[in-house]
Each structure stands twice: as structure tokens, then as C-alpha cells.
Structure 1
């Protein structure tokens, strides 16, 4: 009759031992849930701080192996150690890379380190030399001949130099040059401000009104500067061809030097017309003959040579060409993923694209030096961009689109406490610091400044 009473203490001891065993197992799993990635790592490593992985994909695949057959039991963290994590293609996270509302998956920079996710190719200082091509020297002004350096890009076999399309807005998908993280300027004229159309000879067709004959505009110019240009090498004019709220770049077909007239290679969207009272204005882009001041560069695509007038001594400088054509990071249909504290830079597309999914966060990141948009969020719900610096983008800063306008279902995306400046560097109109689309999305406490058009 007394046996059950005697067994109770044993059962209590077993229960305590079992709880301790569970606690030990949980503690052990917590250590395994942090993975490290380093540009000096190796994907055969275990992903520890001392022996990190080399690639983000290896860390991603390790997380997938942990969550393939069971739900997350605790948060998982991937730490990017300091240095350049160079991308030749877009890093993608999908639904299978999701966390949960209780246990998030976080990709973050190591504490007090600069971890760069970059789409740039590094050009070593030793690759730069004096301008030796005599024909090229003859095309430049005397003041530039001793200042311009050249780089033979043929050894960089994987470097895609891109092509300028006949017409474009913003900037073409061609490499951009950065010197100590500052964007350099493709050789242009005038160096500051704009030239003006002296007289419109032929407005050309107006595609915006349905005329698809593609009759190019013709206009007269003042002065002799355009007569120096080699249009066969490709010269583009970025201009406000009709209205002051729409800029567009169009290649030059020909220059009549005697009549001082330029014929464009394609129709301007609204034609070459006096849509506003102010004079129509333009500037020339990608003109080797106009490489005449510090900070300008030109790429001879046929010869694969970069010409550059550096703004200061190149000794010890970080000189890069952005080459990645897509976004650096794409998050599609994932949930509860955080990206924190990483410098994301040097893409010919956007820096970050998030589509679908739920409750993803971009926190305390620096997004800079991209040809197009900083961050684009479309669809999904409850995504958040917070405490980020977004600067030096070719078009806009941040787009938040989500929710169902017909049903008035809110997207609940948020942009909070971000600093957005020096955006719209290439597309001078219609590219905004923050764009809200859909319904029920919020922007609050963001500092937006220094742009050519609108916030």
C-alpha cells in the first residue's frame, strides 16, 4: 500500500533530470544556429566564427537543411564578417528561407565591422597607367593629356561593359566608376548646367500621341563645341525636349557642322517642342573629347579601355566598376527575415527587391551607389524598412507598394526613420525619395533631401 508514495521522489528526480537534458540540448542548438560568412572563408568549413563559410549560398543551404524536415525551434543568425562580399549574380531568398513570428532568420554584419554586399569589380591601382595612345591624346584638350590615366580592361575577361541603347531614361546598364565610394561622372558637356536649343528645326514625331513613325527631331545649336564630337563612337544627349518635368536621353544620328544642326537618332517621347516657356535644354553624355576635368571617365568598349581623370592621387584608393545587372538581394515570398547593418552597394539595378511574403525587415543598412532604385518592396504585407541610409541612387530611394485598393485591405508596409538623400542622380524627373503605392502603407520620420525634382 505504501509503494506509490515511495516512488514519487524517484519520479520527481527523473523529471528534473529530463528537464536538465532538454535545457542542455536547447543550449547546444543555440550555438549551432549562428553561421559566419567571410570573403576569406571556405564553403567546406563548418561556418563558425573561426572557420567561416565563403558564400552566402552555403549559409543559406545550411539553414535549409536545418529546417527541411522540422519547424524552427529558435532564431537563426547569419553573420557577415567585415570585408567585400562580391556578387556576380543576385543573392536570392525564397519561401523556404523563412523564419517565423517567434523565431526570425537574420542576416547581419558582424559587430563593429563593415560588411559590404557589392556588385563591383575592383580595379587595382597598378592597372592604371599614363595615356599612351597618341590618337586618343590628340582628341583631348591639352590640359587633360597629362592628367588622364588609362586601364586595359582586356585582362578582366568577365567584365561586361554593356551598351547604351538608342534612347533611355536614367542611365543605361553600363558600368559606373567609383573612386573611394564616390560616383564618378561619365565624360560630358557642359561640365555644369545645360546647353540650350537655339531653334527647333523639326519637332519629329510624337510617340506619346500615337505617332510611331519615329521621325527624329532636328534642332540648331550655338557655338562650335559639338563640332568636335565623334558621333560614330556614340554620343547621347540628355534633354528636356518638350517639358521641364520629363528628361530623356537620345543618341545623336548626325551633326551638320556647317549649319550647326543636330539630328537625333530617334523621336523624343513628347517630340522636340516648346512645351514650357523656358528654353529647351540638353547636355551631351559619353563624349571622349569632353573628358576634361577631374572625376570624369570614358569607356572605349571596342578597345576595352577605361580612361579616367582621378579627383586625387590614386595611391591607396579604392577604385571599382559596378557590373552586376540585377539587384544585389532579392527576397521573394519569404517571411520573417531580417537584413541588418550591411552596406549594400554598386549594382546596375536596384540594391534590394522584396516581393510577396510577410513581415520582412531591412534595418540599419546603408544602400548606396546603385544605378536604379535603392529598395523596392511590392506585394506581401507588413514589411518594414527602418533606420537605413539610402544615398547616391540613379533613380529613386524607396518604393513601398502593397495592399488591395479595391477591397481596402492594407499592405501595412512601413518606412521609418530612414535618411534618403542624393537620389535621382541619373533620372532627373519622376524619381522620388519615397513612393507609396497601394493602400495602408506608412512612411514616418524620414529625412529626405538633395534631389533634382521631388521628394
Structure 2
């Protein structure tokens, strides 16, 4: 059957290898105090790299018992050797594990190696189901698998949960045999048990209790409902949804964001397992099924499911007894689980704020009652640094700063392939906490956050709730399901000034693109950079936002108050300064640039140089070009771009050289189609991609620009030959006379680490433009 897909695109082309790397120098290794290895023994002394302990707990407890972190004279370093450190429970640190005297207890990678703190479990023993294209494997709890998980990773890629096509309901229904919930005395409520559909649109599903019903409406409300039962009723099928969640969601304050004729999708139904890359979990039989992609050997590629929820928890016992002076450096965290969706719905939300079980009892009276969790949690923690780590393949979010987290530095990390945001700071329920409990004084800089929300469409990149004094600078955020950056305060109309209050966010010098990547599904009502509520003293400046699939690149929304939006560039989207501001108007803006003519401008005061400058024909002035050039990762962190795996080997992060290419006009290889995306001032140009390893079995796809006279007439691809010390044509110049994508597959088997794309315009002496270029291949 024809379907939309959560994760659409070409076949997998790249998977980063995880595991041991070349050993570091003896001098660097000497900085380690203790050593931990998955192949070690807790009976070892662990003072040399070849006699390590086996567990992090052994290192933690040794430091505690011998009080090595008291009256410290130097940093104490626990070095993790490369390979998988498989977890079966959370690694907990408390105030007893803190550093002292200005020195830290550091959990770090052994020099030159890549340790992985792994909360998952490999799925092995796959067998072909007789006369079917899919495989099956056992995942019993008795063997250490979780009784519920929402992800399967094959070859490092998140597989797509089996999914039906989108259908619209024909009505709500109230099951007479099921008592209605108590009426709400303060407001009228709707009492229904589920949604009914035309009978022909709902197959005869088996294992109904494992099915989830996904709902999408009004551009930003997405829900995932557990299904209680499916029954026939005349010309209809009735899908009964678990309570009290459906009832609570149905009666949320807006009263219109859940209706029966919205679009619904059936998830995790065995009968929908019909396309390569899909999978299905049967909890009743403890079996997982997977439909492999063409040419994919699952046993060789490796398959994992998450098991442990919360991989690391750093928590002091109170605001006056904080865990502190602890660092994590160079570690990979992956395969964390999220168990809450097992028993209740998730959604009705905005970004990572979760709708409450009983919103009418929520103290904020707005329906929200918590957040999507992170896998590395900080509570009542001070002076924590999180640097050079990779957080990936998670069933929820990445790093979460909760109540009482302060003086936290998050720098130079990769967050990718996550269900929710890479960094979640602040608690929704902390709107009235005092200064000692506020999440505050946080620096989030030079991180890459990408690929969030394939199975949770409200996911953002960096998400703030009720925080104070947070600086978000020089980050690269892209391919997020919803907003790239999002901040929302729990009480929309309150101010709460001062250190015990909320605000003073600095969001500056960031590059954000392809936010709201789930727009094809109807997820569009957001901004790539979004602020909701009163955040006094906040500043949004010197950012470059481009290719957001939402209309708004920058969005100052409800009750915005005492903020500035200056020196920002938005390409392909507008500035939205909502008229729903807090009065008197105190939102200010100046020196902003956009190529979008229809901006929403009534909610700001335009001092300085006035309203956003509307640029036409790509004629960005010098000030705008400087903003674009300086936004994103600083030079010493630029290599992080290349460390994120992607299906398109020609991702812009791999670019190393170019000839006459005007990069200020955008990135032609980011997978986002837009007219006039990149070009040069001469009629022939090239750009070079360094792939980081040898690839073969290539396919190249180009789409030419359909704007003005910027038309590519010919293209070719070259490879670097080390043996010949020269660039060799993989394909000679080929003519292109269509605006549709054109694919070229080399006839010969070619392997290379470096490629160059050449484009030429023979019709005009002066300029050439390209819309998209992608390269796929298989790593040797």
C-alpha cells in the first residue's frame, strides 16, 4: 500500500564504525588515574591501562571509600577504554562523588579510543519467516531485553516502525458499557472512548494492545495513543483508546486540536509490516520482526534495541547538597530507552513539554505536566562539564538539566539520531522554585544537534523551560522534527524578574537549518528559532537560519516581553513578531535580514535601522554576509560537522575545498530543495567532498536550478587517485536539460575517499547554479 514515511529518503549509505581506535601517546595515558574496560576485572588494581576495572561503579566506589576526591590537589581521571560498556542499570553519581578544591572527577575516553556507554542489547539469531520477506528474532525479558521499546537500530540506523497510511476518522464514539469519567464542574467536557473510521480503512489487526494511533492536527499537535480495542460497528471500525489519556487530551483548553476528521496513522501493526526498513514488536510473544533493506545482512550489520532508561544520573540529595565538579569527556552514549509510552499516550504537547495525565489538577492549569526525559540527567548539580561527547540513538532526549542544575558547560558535543532534543534545560514544573533550585548559569556552545524526532514529531534541537541565564552560542542545529531552538515558560503571562525568575537567554551566532523537517506530515506551525512567554533580558542575535520548512525562521510568540532580536539573517522564511505580545510592547529588533517579503511585524519595536531588510535576487549586503559567515561552529570545532553520519555522503559538512563557489548563498547538498540555492560568478565551478573513508558502489544525483539564467547545462564527478596523484573522471561531463533530479551510477566499480562535483553553464558567460547534489555509496 502507498504510505508516507517517518524517515524517508535514499537507502543507507554510511554508518560510522564505533569501537577501538589507535592508542594515544604514553604521555597522554599517564594523565589517567584509573582505568575501566569492558574486558577488565573489578579485582584489578586499575592503575595501569592493561589491568583495568570492569565497571564504572567499581571506580566510583573506590574513590568514595578511599576519599580520594576530598582535599584534591589535581583532577582525578577515570579513563574508559574503547569498546562497549554495556549497562543494565543507570550509573548514579551523588554529592559523595564530587570533586574538590577547584579540581574535578573526570570520566573520560582513554586517549585515542572510543568508549561507548551502551544502554541497549544486541538482537541476534534472526531467522527468515517462511514465505515472507521479513525476519524474526526473540527478545524475551528473561534474556535481559526490556518489556517495551520504541526503537530498533540496524547498522546504526533507526528503523521505521511498521505503519499504515494516513486515514481520517468519521466520528467519535462513546461505548455504553464503559462508565464516563466524572464531569469537570469548571468547564464542559466531551466524553468519548475513541475514534471510529470507515470499516474499509482499518484492516483486521491482530495483537491490538501493541498498536499505537498517531494523530496530527493544526500544524503542531501530535499524539501517540495506546489502543485498547478495535471492534466492528456496522459500516465502521471503532478504535478505543486508553483512558484517562484520551479523555484528557480530547478536552484540553483549546478545544479544537483533536477532532475525529484529523489525520491518524496506525503504528506497530503486524499487518503493516510491508516495506523494507520497517519493523514490528509483539510484546505478547516477545518477538521482533524486521523487513531488511535491499542487500542488507542484519546479522552482519548488527541490530540493537534500547533497554536501560537513564544511562547516567548525577543528582545531589538537595539544593544545599549538590553533586559538583564532575566532568564527562570524549564518551559515546547510546541506546537509552523510554518506558513511559508503554502505558500512556505521549503528545498533546509543544516541543518537549508533555501533556499531563490529568491536566485539570496541574498546578499551572495549562495542561502540561512534565518533559520528555533525557538520558544523561543532572539534578541538584553544580559545576558540571560535558565536552567532546557523542549522544546518539536514544529513545528519548540527550542531556537534561533538571531542578537545581547550575554552572553547567556543554561544549563540543554531537547529539544526533534522538527521539527528542539534544539538550533539554529546565523543568516545566519549576516555574515557582527559588534561586537555589532554578536551572541557571548554563553555557551550550559549539555543539552539533541533528536528526531529532523521527518517532516524536514535536522534537526540537535545544529546548529551554523556566531557565535563567542560559547562553546558547555557536551551535549547528539542523534536521529537527520541530523547532531548532525552542524556549517556553510555564506561566504565559507572569514576569518573574530577577535571579529567582526566568529569562536572560542569549541565543547568538548559531546556524539553524531544515527545522520543522516533518512539514510534509503537516507539522508546520512553529519557528526555527522560537520563544514563547515572558523571558526578560533575552537576546537573539547574529544567527543564520535557512531552509526552515516552517514559514517562520524567527518567531517571537505569545506574551513576549523585554527581549531583543538583532543582527539575524533568515533565508527562505519570515520574521514573525506576534501581536500577542505582553503590553506594553517591549520586544525590540534591528539589523535583521530576510529574503521573505511577507513578514509578521506588529509585535516589535524597530529601533536602530528599522524593520527587517528584505533582500531580493540573493543580493545579501556585506553585514548580512558577515553574520552568515560567523554563525555556527567556531573554527576549532568545525571538524564536528564531519563526524555526524548521514545518508548523503556529500553532506555540506564534508566540504574541504571549492573553486569560485559562492557559499554565502546556501548549501546545495543539505537535502533541502530551494531555487537559487548555490551558485558561482563564473560559468564553471567545482566543490570537493572528503568522505573520511573509502566508499564504493556510488550513485550521484543532481538537480539543477530553475531560476533566472542560473542554469546548469553539464555536470561531472571526479575522484582522487592516490596511485596516479591526480583527479580522474568517474563520469565525464554529462548534459542536463531538466529541472527534475538526474541520477548517474558509474558502470565500473570505483572506490575513493574524495570526490569533486563540477558544474558548467554553457548558455551564459558568468554564472551557474545548482539546486541539489547527493552521493550515496557503501563503505569498504
TM-score, length-scaled by structure 2: 0.47
Matching residue of 2:127: 129
8 Å CA contact retained: 1:231, 1:252: no
Matching residue of 1:196: 168
Q: Quick one: structure 1 residues 121 and 202, their matched pair in 2 at CA, closer, same or farther if it must change by over 3 Å?
A: same
Determine if the alignment matches structure 1 residue 283 to structure 2 residue 265. Answer: yes
Deviations 1:224-271 (A, max 9, x none): 341232264542211136774242424152242751333323435342
Matching residue of 1:392: 417
| Counterpart-to-counterpart distance in 1, 2:215 and 2:452 | 19
Determine if the alignment matches structure 1 residue 298 to structure 2 residue 280. Answer: yes
Matching residue of 1:185: 160
| Counterpart-to-counterpart distance in 2, 1:411 and 1:154 | 43
How big is the shift at 1:315? 4.6
| Counterpart-to-counterpart distance in 1, 2:207 and 2:440 | 49
Determine if the alignment matches structure 1 residue 215 to structure 2 residue 192. Answer: yes
8 Å CA contact retained: 1:293, 1:309: yes
8 Å CA contact retained: 2:137, 2:287: yes
| Counterpart-to-counterpart distance in 2, 1:210 and 1:302 | 40
| Counterpart-to-counterpart distance in 2, 1:388 and 1:75 | 21
How big is the shift at 1:280? 0.6
8 Å CA contact retained: 1:241, 1:268: no
Secondary structure of 1:294's aligned partner:
coil
Between 1:422-431 and 1:95-104, the stretch displaced more is 422-431
Matching residue of 1:22: none
Deviations 1:398-432 (A, max 9, x none): 12239987669882111111111121233322655
Matching residue of 2:134: 148
Determine if the alignment matches structure 1 residue 377 to structure 2 residue 401. Answer: yes
How big is the shift at 1:68? 5.8
Matches within 5 A, 1:80-119: 80-100=80-100, 102-119=102-119
8 Å CA contact retained: 1:423, 1:451: yes
Specify which structure has the higher proportion of strand. 2
| Counterpart-to-counterpart distance in 2, 1:212 and 1:101 | 58
| Counterpart-to-counterpart distance in 2, 1:69 and 1:435 | 32
Matches within 5 A, 1:39-438: 39-47=38-46, 48-67=48-67, 70-100=70-100, 102-124=102-124, 127-132=125-130, 145-154=131-140, 157-162=143-148, 174=149, 176-190=151-165, 194-197=166-169, 199-202=170-173, 215-221=192-198, 224-230=200-206, 232=208, 234-240=210-216, 244-251=220-227, 253-256=229-232, 258-265=234-241, 266=243, 267-271=246-250, 275=257, 280-311=262-293, 312-324=296-308, 326-333=309-316, 334-349=323-338, 350-378=374-402, 379-401=404-426, 411-429=440-458, 433-438=462-467
8 Å CA contact retained: 1:242, 1:270: no
Matching residue of 2:539: none
Q: Quick one: structure 1 residues 50 and 261, their matched pair in 2 at CA, closer, same or farther if it must change by over 3 Å?
A: same
Matches within 5 A, 1:28-43: 34-43=33-42
| Counterpart-to-counterpart distance in 2, 1:375 and 1:69 | 25
Deviations 1:146-183 (A, max 9, x none): 32111133595332323xxxxxxxxxxx2521112211
8 Å CA contact retained: 1:405, 1:438: no
Q: Quick one: structure 1 residues 364 and 70, their matched pair in 2 at CA, closer, same or farther if it must change by over 3 Å?
A: closer
How big is the shift at 1:123? 2.2
How big is the shift at 1:337? 0.8
Specify which structure has the higher proportion of helix. 1
Secondary structure of 2:203's aligned partner:
helix
How big is the shift at 1:211? 6.7
| Counterpart-to-counterpart distance in 2, 1:319 and 1:64 | 37
| Counterpart-to-counterpart distance in 2, 1:106 and 1:61 | 14
| Counterpart-to-counterpart distance in 2, 1:316 and 1:263 | 39
8 Å CA contact retained: 2:108, 2:330: yes
| Counterpart-to-counterpart distance in 1, 2:160 and 2:101 | 45
| Counterpart-to-counterpart distance in 2, 1:413 and 1:232 | 45
| Counterpart-to-counterpart distance in 2, 1:252 and 1:36 | 50
How big is the shift at 1:330? 0.7
8 Å CA contact retained: 1:161, 1:175: no
| Counterpart-to-counterpart distance in 2, 1:384 and 1:121 | 31
| Counterpart-to-counterpart distance in 1, 2:195 and 2:154 | 37
| Counterpart-to-counterpart distance in 1, 2:233 and 2:277 | 29
How big is the shift at 1:446? 1.6
Between 1:306-315 and 1:203-212, the stretch displaced more is 203-212
8 Å CA contact retained: 1:369, 1:393: yes
| Counterpart-to-counterpart distance in 2, 1:215 and 1:447 | 44
| Counterpart-to-counterpart distance in 2, 1:72 and 1:218 | 62
Matching residue of 1:444: 473
Q: Quick one: structure 1 residues 406 and 98, their matched pair in 2 at CA, closer, same or farther if it must change by over 3 Å?
A: closer
How big is the shift at 1:215? 2.6
Secondary structure of 1:427's aligned partner:
coil
Q: Quick one: structure 1 residues 306 and 68, their matched pair in 2 at CA, closer, same or farther if it must change by over 3 Å?
A: same
CA RMSD of the aligned region, Å? 3.2
Q: Quick one: structure 1 residues 119 and 231, their matched pair in 2 at CA, closer, same or farther if it must change by over 3 Å?
A: closer
Q: Which runs of 5+ in 2 are unaligned?
A: 1-28, 317-322, 339-373, 485-780
8 Å CA contact retained: 1:236, 1:252: no
Matching residue of 2:493: none
Q: Quick one: structure 1 residues 268 and 105, their matched pair in 2 at CA, closer, same or farther if it must change by over 3 Å?
A: same
